[in-house]
Structures are given as C-alpha cells and as structure tokens.
Structure 1
Amino acid sequence: MKKLQILAGLYLLCSSSTWAVEPVVSAANIQEIRLSLDSVWVVLGGILVFFMQAGFALIESGSVRSKNTINVLMKNYMDACLGGLVFWLIGFGLMFGVNQTGWIGTSYFAPNEMDGWHWNLLFFQMMFAATATTIASGAMAERIHFVAYIVSAAVVSGLIYPIFGAWAWGSLFDGEGWLKALGFIDFAGSTVVHSIGGWVALAGIIVLGPRLGRFGRNGQVHYLAGHNLPLVALGGFILWLAWFGFNAASTVKAEVSIGRIALNTHLAACASAVVYMVYTLIRGKAILMRGTINASLGGLVAITAGCATMSPLFAVMSGAFAGILVSILPVLMEKLRLDDVVDAVTVHGFCGAWGTLAAGLFFEGRMFNSEIIAVQILGIMAAFIWGFGVAFIVFKVLDKVLGGLRVSKQHEQRGLDYTEHAELSYPEFQHDVTFETDDMTKRH
C-alpha cells in the first residue's frame, strides 16, 4: 500500500504544469535547419559540377595528339577562372536579375550584397556557366588561337549562356523569362547548358575549318587518333560522377526526390551506352571505347532536362535514343566535312535537343501533351538560333579583328603546346616533333 502511494505521488509530481517540458526545437529553428541543409546540398552540388572541369580536361586532352595536350588543359582551366569572373561581373545579373521584359535581367551585376541563400545559387550557377563554356573547347581543339578562344569563352560565360538562361530559368527576384512563362521544361539544362555549348561548338568548327589532314582532297576521311585513351576513360567516369551533382542538386533543396533524379540520371547513361554497343554489333563494327564513353555522356545530356519529371522507364528510353544519335550523327558530321575532335556537337548539341523534347514527350502525368511539346520545340529552336547565331558572329569578328582565328599551318604541325605556351606535355619524347631550338629556352 505504501509503495502505491509513493508511485501515485511521483505521477502527480511529473504531470503537474510546473514540470511540463517545452519543445526543444521551435518552428523557426526547424526552418533554419532546413535552409542550412539545403545550402549544404546546393554548395556540394556546385563542387561536383566544378569537378566536371576535370572530366572535360581529361577527355579532351586524351582525345588530341600529344603535341596539343597542354593547350587543351589550359583552355579548360581558364574556362573556370575567367568564366567565373565574367559570370559574377555580368552573367548572373543578366540571367537572374530583375527581369520585367522577359528577355534579360537588369540588376545584381557584380553582386556584393545579397542574402545568404542567393550566394548559394550564384556559386551553383557559376559552375554551370563554366560547363556550358568548356563544351566548345574540345570541338575546336588543335587549331584555334589560345587568345581567340579565351575571348570567345568570355562571351559565352558573360552573354550567350546567361541570356538564354534568363529566358528559360530567370529570374530569382522580380519578373520571369519568356520561355519560363510559357512553361518550358529544362530541369537541369539539357538545352540551357548543353545544347547552347554544342551550338557554340558547331559555329566554331564551321568558321575554323577542319584540322590539317583530317579530310583528303578526294573526300577521304582520315581519323586523327588521340594520344591517351585511358585519360578519356577516366574523364568519362569523372563526368558521370559529377553529373549526379549537376542533376540532383538542381532541386536546390535537400529533399527525397533526389534519389529518383540520381537513378534516372544513371539509367539513361547506362541505356545509351548499351544501345550504342548493340547497334555497333548489329552493323558488324568494332565496339570503340571512345564511342561507348560518348554514348554514356549523350545519355547523361539527354536526361538532364527531364530527370525530375519522368519515370525511370522513360529515362531509359530517353537514354536509349541518345545512344542511337551518338552512333549515327558523327558519321553525318564527317560527310559534311565538319571536324569535331570530341563529338561535342552530337553529344551536347543534338542529344541536349533530344533530351529537351523528351522532357515534354514523357512529362509525368501529362505525357504526349501537344501544348507542352510545342513549347519544348520552341525552346529548342530559340536555343539554336541564339547560341549558334551569336557564336558564329563572334567567331567571324574574332577572325577579322585578331588577324585569323586559326593558327598558322606551321604552328598546327608543330603543336600548340610549343607554339602557344612554350611548354611540352611529354618533353622527353617530343624533341623531334617540335624541332627543339634555343627559342623555347629564350621564351622562358
């Protein structure tokens, strides 16, 4: 009986209002924690997107001849450096500033004061700008003047990419882009990033012309093999890894949808590579590692627009068709005598356009909706007209102003590592290639 009285007394004591426990975490604290987690996710995604520069550098440097390795690496490195500054100075404002016209942003140039959340988005988008810019680097490799390329890269980072981005994604403040207002779907940038970069590459290779020896006088096609396929393979793996940040972090929120986005991304890349392999086997051709890697990248590009708005089955279908495009279009490019060293126009330009269309075709809940598809086609066409048109003009102007966009035949034969940078990527093996003289020592 005494024990029961003691227990009853303890119960009454604990249940009294004076002992009531207040919630440890308030609604304000929960919101702050959520914003902090979102910030960590977006910044981590931006870091992964920055890592794509390493992937591009390895693929491009491995795809060129050894005498042009340093030149390609330098272009990739400066895409991130100069591109970052230019995007901060003018690109971010044009893309995400107050946009009352639907065409361009008019504020937040060289931003120095913003709230904490918008710094995250600026950093994330700065990495996207570098990706869009560097796509053209590999396509135009082995024959473009380094300074001319850097100027064109600044135009892409500061003008071409941000303005189309303003149409499709802007603004973060007041107003919105005209394509965005129509309902254009491009979740992570199949067109905004990749097709724009691909169309810039197309303009560049048309103005430059093919490399010496790429095509014969009688229509023959000569394959100029890259010097290091292991670098290409490593670059492919790095890009694939970084693409999870590219797509999944485009949620700009740490939420449960990340898993399906990452899965769709992976499935599309796998499907594209497998379809390339099967198509090649059916044709009785050799299954090339370079073609397999490009196919997987084409699948990644294609799923980027619709990775958040389609089911895994249609992600596989999107990637599979990209595998067909990567198998067929490079041959057509060769017939047109267009020399794209890394097939950037196919992988990024055409696969990006297909992915944007697929995002409309396979939009979950409203599949094959004619209104959605029409807006997607309009966005694809607008991207081509803007990206290719402005880039073509820029390359033509640079060709006139700088006395030639392309290096001389002698410099192209000797290699751009030596003639543009006074360095050799493999000095113990390249003395005979570069006609070693005292000139290289003097330039140091």
Structure 2
Amino acid sequence: MTLTTRISLSAAAVLMPLAAVAQEATETAEAAAPGFDQIGPYIMTTLLFLIGGFLVFWMAAGFAMLEAGLVRSKNTATQLTKNIALFSIASLMYWLVGFNLMYPGDGWIVAGYLGTLFSPAVLEPVGLAADAAALDYASVASDFFFQLMFCATTASIVSGTLAERIKLWPFLVFVVVLTGFIYPIEASWQWGGGWLSELGFSDFAGSTLVHAAGGFAALAGAIVLGARVGKFGKDGRVVPIPGSNLPLATLGTFILWLGWFGFNGGSQLAAGTVGDITDVGRIFANTNMAASAGAVAALILSQVSFGKIDLTMVLNGALAGLVSITAGPLDPSLFGALWIGAIGGVIVVYTIPLLDKLKIDDVVGAIPVHLIAGFWGTMAVPFYTEGTSFVTQFIGFASIGIFVFVVSMVVWLILKAVMGLRVSEEAEIAGLDVSELGMEAYPEFTRG
C-alpha cells in the first residue's frame, strides 16, 4: 500500500463521521423548521393586512384630493392641513387607547374599556422565529396597522362636510375624541365581539361602523356649526357654491376607488386557504361593480333630473356605490353588486338636494354618500347573506347612529362653548387659508 493510499484512507476515516454528523444535523433542522403548510397561512394573512392597510392609507390621499377640489381655492390649504393632521392624530389615539377599546377581549362590556392605557399589545419581537406553534393567524402589528386605517377613515368623512367655516383647532380636538373613543367604542360592539355581534348584526367592512358613523358625526357637526355665509338666501333659495378644482376632485375619487379594494378585500381577514383568497377576488370584483353602477346611475339620473350631467353627482355616485356594497361585498353575485351600487348612486342624486332643503350645508356631500348610502348598504345585507335579518340590521344601524350622533353633538356643543367653532364672517369671506394658516394653496391666483 502506497503512502498516498494510506493518506487517502486516513482522511476518509476522519471525514466520513463528520459527514454523518452534518447530515444528521441537516435532517434535524429540516424536521424542526416548519414548512409552508404550517407558516403559509400566517404569512399570507399578514400580507393581506399589510397590502390592504396601505391601500386604505392611500384613501387618505383620496379624501384630501376630493375635498381640496370641492372647496373654493381660498380654503384649499386648510383642507389639506386638516387631512394630514387628522390621520396623524388618529394614529396616535388608536395606539393610545382606541385599539384596546375596540378589542377588549374577555373583559368586554357595552361601553368598552380602556385596557392597557399605552400600547395596544406587545408587538412581535424583531426577527420573530418561525415557530409555527407560537404564531397566531397573523402578525399583531399588521392587524393593528390595518384596523388603524379604518379609524382614520371615519375622521376623514367628517372633514369635508364641515369645510370652509370651522376653526382648525376645535376640529382637531373633536378628531381626538372621535378616533380615541367614539369610533373604537361603537366598533367594539360588532368587531370586538360585543353585543351587536352576539345579536347577529352583520357589517363586513363598515357601511355602518365606519361610514355611517362618520356621517352621523358630520351631521351633528353641521347642525351645530350652521351653513356657510351666502349658502342660503333670505328667501330660502339655495345658492350653489362650486368647487375650485374638479380634476383634483376626480383624481381623489379614483384614489378612493382604488383604496376601497383594500378596505373591502382586506376585511376578509384571512388569505391562508384557497377559499379565503378566492373570496378576496370575489370581493374585489363586487366592489368594482358597485362603484361602476353607482357612477352610471348618478350620471343617467342627473341628466334626467337636471337636464345636464353633473360631474360631482357622478363622483359621489361612485363613492355611494362603494359605501353601499361595503356591508356585504362577499355574498352577492355580480348582478347583485350592480343593483346595490346603482341604488347608492340614486340615493346621492336625490338626497344632496334634500339636505339643501333642510338647510344642512354639507360641502362635499359626505352625509348622503356615507350615512344614507351606508344605511342602504347595511339593510341590503339580508338579501344575500344567510343568518341575517332586516330587524337586526336596523337595530345595529340605529344603535350606532344614536350613540355616535348624541355623543358627537355633546362634544361639538362643548367645543362651541369653550373654544368656539366658527371663524368670523370676515375670516370666512377672506378664506380660511389666510385666517387660519396665513398662507394660500394658490397664491398666484385671485382668491374666489
């Protein structure tokens, strides 16, 4: 036997046990690491929350653009300030108390409870190990992020209604109360496992809990605040006050339309099975159908009613169609989504003039779009969703409406007494951009 052969045999004798140890370690690691079947549902549902959440976040831009386009140019910067401020305040308040009010778990009572004052939950540590046994159905952080977006949306609805005559700081104080307390409490009644959930009330993505709630808060504010200077003549005549930038309002509507796919689709709350992800696709299709039908219905009806097509009616018709399908976007057929959304468009064309007759000044039409179409969408659920009833749906809508309206009214009245709600008539005529901010969105143009 040569020296080379002896060296080779010696090396093999050393390496073979090492190779066996490495193989055993690899097999042990493979056995311990969970496969995609174990962690896949967690990953996919977390992604659904994150993608849905940032789509709903993009709706904040939609509200800002819609409102900036529907107010006069002298009030544009103020509306933009309100929208970025209200979203930021909602983020802080939902973390501070809102999340624990909305999801109190076993300690739930009718009015909710504060729970842990700071921090909604212990978020996952950085680099959480992929131990399937330790994972919930989705990341806590992603769930918190997604639910926060709905809270902020509720406040965005109020902003447009009260535009062009409300002081900035009292409005922001109301946002603190709305996002930290009012919305989380009423939402806990359904989504936090509260009494409406036990009663059998159904609101898939928030036609009542988000949209009608925002509409009721806006209605209370509009009543306390009063109409803009010059909106209603002494003879009762309604004086149209057109917006400054319809291209911007149209862009805002398309942004909201896009964000609504996350709003409704993400509310499936699961994407870990073939059935769940198929349902998300169905929700997307129904959401788009309802929006389209609402826009077309408003387009045709405005032509018939007014002799000309009204673009603002068409924009609000699309949004009303979206609100209408939000309570039940999964169960209807495409035709079902079509007629539900179309009725939303009809509601807008008839109720916007009705508010004018009632001397309620809603600058962007948010009350018809979110409150009244939200009522219709909530009541349409039993047509397609088994186990629901019209009586239960009405009880749910009425209870949330009364709670939000009464509490909001009290808060608005307190703010009016303590801080004052309206700017002066002189400031309103000059524009809130100058009186509230000392700056203008379009400084090169003549204010009008």
TM-score bracket relative to the smaller structure:
0.7 to 0.9
Cα distance in 2 for partners of 1:283, 1:37 equals 48
Cα distance in 2 for partners of 1:282, 1:23 equals 71
Cα distance in 2 for partners of 1:128, 1:222 equals 34
Query: Match for 1:419: what amino acid?
Result: S
Q: Is the 2:99–2:120 contact (alpha carbons within 8 Å) kept by the matching residues of 1?
A: no
Counterparts of 1:213-362 in structure 2, within 5 Å, are 213-254=230-271, 255-283=277-305, 285-362=307-384
Cα distance in 1 for partners of 2:147, 2:421 equals 29
Residue 422 of structure 2 aligns to a residue whose secondary structure is: coil
Counterparts of 1:360-375 in structure 2, within 5 Å, are 360-363=382-385, 366=386, 372-375=389-392
Query: Match for 2:216: what amino acid?
Result: W
Between 387-396 and 91-100, report the one with greater CA deviation. 91-100
Sequence identity of aligned pairs in percent? 41
Q: Is the 2:100–2:120 contact (alpha carbons within 8 Å) kept by the matching residues of 1?
A: no
Among residues 86, 107, 110, which one is paired with 2:115 in the alignment?
107
Among residues 395, 416, 423, which one is paired with 1:407 in the alignment?
423
Cα distance in 1 for partners of 2:156, 2:305 equals 33
Change in 2 beyond 3 A, CA 1:112/1:224: closer
2:39 aligned residue: 32
Q: Is the 1:92–1:109 contact (alpha carbons within 8 Å) kept by the matching residues of 2?
A: no
Q: Is the counterpart of residue 80 in structure 1 residue 81 in structure 2?
A: no
Q: CA deviation at 1:102?
A: 4.2
1:7 aligned residue: none
Q: CA deviation at 1:374?
A: 1.0
Q: CA deviation at 1:209?
A: 0.5
1:369-427 Cα distance to aligned partner (Å, 9 max, x none):
7x62111000110121011111111111100011x211000110111111111111111
Cα distance in 1 for partners of 2:300, 2:29 equals 60
Q: Is the 2:302–2:313 contact (alpha carbons within 8 Å) kept by the matching residues of 1?
A: no
1:427 aligned residue: 443
Query: Match for 2:383: what amino acid?
Result: L
Cα distance in 2 for partners of 1:163, 1:286 equals 44
Change in 2 beyond 3 A, CA 1:105/1:262: farther
1:442 aligned residue: none
Q: CA deviation at 1:103?
A: 3.7
2:156 aligned residue: 134
Cα distance in 2 for partners of 1:262, 1:256 equals 10
Cα distance in 2 for partners of 1:314, 1:22 equals 54
Residue 361 of structure 2 aligns to a residue whose secondary structure is: coil
Change in 2 beyond 3 A, CA 1:94/1:22: closer
2:22 aligned residue: none
Among residues 214, 218, 230, which one is paired with 1:197 in the alignment?
214
Q: Is the 2:66–2:253 contact (alpha carbons within 8 Å) kept by the matching residues of 1?
A: yes
Counterparts of 1:88-99 in structure 2, within 5 Å, are 88-98=95-105, 99=107
Among residues 198, 201, 210, which one is paired with 1:181 in the alignment?
198
Change in 2 beyond 3 A, CA 1:284/1:57: closer
1:65-121 Cα distance to aligned partner (Å, 9 max, x none):
111000000000011111110111011111012243244144244226435422211
Q: CA deviation at 1:24?
A: 7.1
Change in 2 beyond 3 A, CA 1:106/1:418: closer
Query: Match for 2:63: what amino acid?
Result: F
Change in 2 beyond 3 A, CA 1:113/1:319: closer
Change in 2 beyond 3 A, CA 1:115/1:77: closer
Cα distance in 1 for partners of 2:112, 2:344 equals 32
Change in 2 beyond 3 A, CA 1:264/1:406: same
Change in 2 beyond 3 A, CA 1:217/1:284: closer
Cα distance in 2 for partners of 1:115, 1:75 equals 30
Residue 389 of structure 2 aligns to a residue whose secondary structure is: helix
After superposition, the CA RMSD in angstroms is 2.0
Q: Unpaired runs of 5+ in structure 1?
A: 1-20, 171-175, 435-444
Cα distance in 2 for partners of 1:318, 1:23 equals 54
Cα distance in 1 for partners of 2:355, 2:441 equals 30
1:32-84 Cα distance to aligned partner (Å, 9 max, x none):
12211211111111111010010000000110111100000000001111111
Q: Unpaired runs of 5+ in structure 2?
A: 1-26, 125-138, 272-276
Number of residue pairs matched by the alignment = 402
Change in 2 beyond 3 A, CA 1:429/1:357: same
Query: Match for 2:349: what amino acid?
Result: S
1:61 aligned residue: 68
> What TM-score do you get using the length of structure 2 for normalisation?
0.86
Q: CA deviation at 1:313?
A: 2.0
Change in 2 beyond 3 A, CA 1:284/1:422: closer
Q: Is the 2:205–2:264 contact (alpha carbons within 8 Å) kept by the matching residues of 1?
A: yes
Cα distance in 2 for partners of 1:24, 1:257 equals 33
Cα distance in 1 for partners of 2:189, 2:141 equals 21
Residue 256 of structure 1 aligns to a residue whose secondary structure is: helix
Query: Match for 1:354: what amino acid?
Result: W
Between 23-32 and 258-267, report the one with greater CA deviation. 23-32
Q: Is the 1:272–1:295 contact (alpha carbons within 8 Å) kept by the matching residues of 2?
A: yes
